[in-house]
Structure 1
Amino acid sequence: MRRSLLSLGGVLLLGLAGFFGARYLSVPEEVPRIGPALACHLSDGPCRHALPDGAVLTLTLTPRPVPLMQPVRVVVTIDRGDWRPLAGDITGLNMTMAPNRVRLKPAAPGRWEGETILPVCSQRQMHWQFALRLEGGGRSWRILDDFHTRR
């Protein structure tokens, strides 16, 4: 009886250690953010960001004004360096919306393009955030820019 209680206690202890260990290891690493473009709003025009090595990244959404339920073209250009955009995620800021991921494909050296369609929502003016994930200098980075749409 005592042996089975010890075995059960050992199994429970191992289970708890495994649970908390997996939880600790699954905490996502904080991805450094490259500062916001000064006085830039993607609804008005391209946003430019200085990258850590001095390269300049430009993010553009077209057409403008950014439409709903029509294709929106996303263009990322990087003037030099060893940078690679991975994807863009569009998130609703004033209302929760379904995930919207933009896959960026190489179009030319230093240029990546993608396309998405933004949904219509009940808000007359919708505020969005475009989060661009990119790699460079052996690390992952993110850039955040805002824009809005009107229905």
Structure 2
Amino acid sequence: MNAAIETLVFAPRASDRCPLCALVGALAAALALAILAKTLFLVPRGPTLLALDETCSISSETCSMPLPGGGRLEFALGPRPVRLLSPLKLEIRVSGSNARALEVDFTGVNTPMAFNRAYLIPSGNGVYGAQTGLPVCATGRMVWQATVLLENGERQMLAPFRFETEH
């Protein structure tokens, strides 16, 4: 029985018998750690939702907000006041950032509405524009949210703006 214990305790390890096996094991462990780190830290996350400024209404003024990492976003609608079933001109200006404005999504805040998205066209110097329209809703007063989708490399940002219309 003592010989069996000595064999278990003092037996040479696999790495002592096979240096190549030890190297392969260490490389496999390093690869597993690298994959785990990439999965946890480098996988792109969902878009960043920027804070809504409830004191500014784009139906009556140009609204702006700071962008993460620096820069500023300005958003204007026209003509004012915003009318339903009429052409609506959008102008987005991005300054101090390499973010690109891609589209604006309009949703009803107090009443669900159909999908309504305007795709922005760059006109140079950080200015983007589009023309769209808003549908008529059954209620008299409608609160809308216009969400600007921006992209900065692999990062997406959602910039919300609110306004009201009367029927």
Q: TM-score range by the shorter chain?
A: 0.7 to 0.9
Is the aligned partner of 1:104 residue 2:95? no
The code of the aligned residue for 2:114 comes to A
What count of residue pairs does the alignment treat as equivalent?
A: 123
1:72 pairs with one of 64, 80, 88: 88
CA distance in 2, matches of 1:37, 1:122: 27
CA distance in 2, matches of 1:85, 1:133: 6
The code of the aligned residue for 1:141 comes to M
**Higher-strand-fraction structure:** 1
Q: Structure 1 length as normaliser, TM-score?
A: 0.76
**Considering only CA atoms, is the larger Rg found in Structure 1 or Structure 2?**
2
- Overall identity of the aligned pairs, in %: 33
Is the aligned partner of 1:128 residue 2:144? yes
**Higher-helix-fraction structure:** 2
Residue 43 of structure 1 aligns with which residue? 59
CA distance in 1, matches of 2:64, 2:118: 19
User: Do the aligned partners of 1:82 and 1:136 also contact (CA within 8 Å) in 2?
Assistant: yes
Shift of 1:137: 5.0
Map 1:1-151 onto structure 2 (within 5 A): 30-37=46-53, 39-151=55-167
Q: Structure 2 length as normaliser, TM-score?
A: 0.69
User: Do the aligned partners of 1:80 and 1:110 also contact (CA within 8 Å) in 2?
Assistant: no
Shift of 1:107: 1.4
Pair 1:121–1:62, CA change in 2 (3 A): same
Shift of 1:36: 2.2
Q: Extract unaligned runs of 5+ from structure 2.
A: 1-44
Q: Extract unaligned runs of 5+ from structure 1.
A: 1-28
Runs of 4+ in 1 over 6 A off after TM superposition: none
Residue 24 of structure 1 aligns with which residue? none
The code of the aligned residue for 1:97 comes to M
Shift of 1:136: 1.5
Give the alignment's Cα RMSD to 1 decimal.
1.4
Shift of 1:54: 2.0
Describe the SS at the equivalent of 1:70.
coil
Residue 19 of structure 2 aligns with which residue? none
